[in-house]
Amino acid sequence: MYLSDPIARYPVRAVTKPRDNKSDPNLETGTYGVFSTCQIKMRKSVATKGVPYVFFVTTHRAGERVLAGYYRVGWYAPGPDSDYVLAASSWRFVEPVAASSLRGALREAVLVRRGYVGLEPEQADQMRKLLDGRDDWTGRYVEEIHRLESLSVRYTGYSYPTWMRASGWGWSDVATYLAHPAPADAGSPPNTAPGGRWVCSACGARSISEARLKRCGVCGALSTLRPENEEK
């Protein structure tokens, strides 16, 4: 389950969401979790259990839940904060499939309230075939992401103001975000903070974001943002 942008033509991630600009699912690179800290448990399950597919659902515009696309997982690696990052060997996003058009277990899976749900292999195969049988709109989705980034620049000066990023993401950014993982017993820091207020332990800069970001927007340090109240 991901949050889609309410002003988008297609159900792409919420690029323009105030105080919470989204980077995943990152269709530009076919990755998940390289840039964001959301759904750490889901990615760990995918990596450790060898899950071959991740299907993406969201609620878009009219308020109806839809199935948007999938990743075929081709690669994963440990990341900071005991996280895993995923990359797809192939990915496909299509004209949204309304939950109301589905039946049985597939409909229930698409209607997941929040987070994620596991599918039986037979269900996953049905869902993949359903998406493979539709025209590939991935290019349209990526173009829409870039359009929203341009709108954001026009009104805020940044493609992703929460991140203080002037542009979006590409494969040239991936190496910057991949770092040596934290010790196994270190656990993950909180993903939310009171009032969305964070402080960087490396440079002391303060920032506002509904979800914890992987990098400080000021100094660029990885895994240094902590809830501001922890510093008091």
CA distance 197 to 183: 26
Identity of the residue numbered 37: T
What pLDDT score was predicted for residue 179? 63
DSSP 8-class letter at 64: E
DSSP 8-class letter at 172: H
Share of the chain above pLDDT 90, in %: 78
Asked whether the predicted pLDDT for residue 231 surpasses 80, the reply is no
Q: Which residues contact 229 (CB under 8 A, 6 or more apart)?
A: 193, 194, 197
162-183 mean pLDDT: 82
Single pTM value for the model: 0.92
Asked whether the predicted pLDDT for residue 78 surpasses 90, the reply is no
Token couple for 70: 């999938």
Q: What is the pLDDT of residues 175-193, one digit of tens each?
A: 888 865 554 445 567 889 9
CA distance 151 to 160: 10
Domain boundaries, the chain: 1-181, 189-232
| Mean pLDDT over the full length of the chain | 91
Asked whether the predicted pLDDT for residue 17 surpasses 80, the reply is yes
CA distance 196 to 146: 26
